[in-house]
Chains A and B, each alone.
Chain A
Amino acid sequence: MKYLKLLLIIAFTLVLLFAASDLPYRGNPDNQMNQEVSMTGTEVPGNYYIQEAYNDAHTPNIVTVILGDYRSIDTLGEQIVIFTAGLICFLLLRKRGEGDDE
């Protein structure tokens, strides 16, 4: 059983190495993520974000503009996740009165 686990780990490592050998080199300007158009010929949004973030919001920090303006519904979802976690902790851990038994 122990050797089977070891064999599985080695096999999985080989699969991951084989997959990683096909990744593009980091920083290569010919990579797909550094191109201005996607594979289907449309303009990628990241290009627009980098070029227009300061003009749209007068904010030097691009990350803030992306999180707060372009992807603001995503941030709203994150906030609601945190709020829900707090409410669940409140409902599970709150101090109950002497009379209630659940």
Chain B
Amino acid sequence: MTNQANSTGANKISTLVMAAIYITLILSIVAIGVGIAAFYETGTYEVTLYLLAIGFIAMALSGYYLLQSRKHTANLKIEAPKILTTIECVKCSIKTTRDFQRGDYVYKEIEKCSKCEDMQVITAIYREPTAKEKEKEKPAAV
């Protein structure tokens, strides 16, 4: 997926945007530096305050866009969830869980039970929610 993302126009635009963001970030640091230097050289607050304000606003903006672009890149990845298969022995009720294998389906009879030699069946195939999903689905306070 990531390689594919690089081949689309999305990356072309984001390179330009990223360049602009980095330039703004550098300029904002320069503005803060010049502001502080101006204070020590001239001793006046006004210019220093303006330059610091410009520097911090520009830094905040470029930081925000930098975070946004990181979020965008992260969003482009489609996560493959982990699928689990529960196998159960109907006679002795022993449950085991393993990773899903192609060809598994619920109520498929598979290998014999190690205890009672009865056939075991798949009783469930499911995916565990990711930590992100769990966080999203926390019960509402209202």
Task: Tell me, yes or no, whether A binds B.
Answer: no
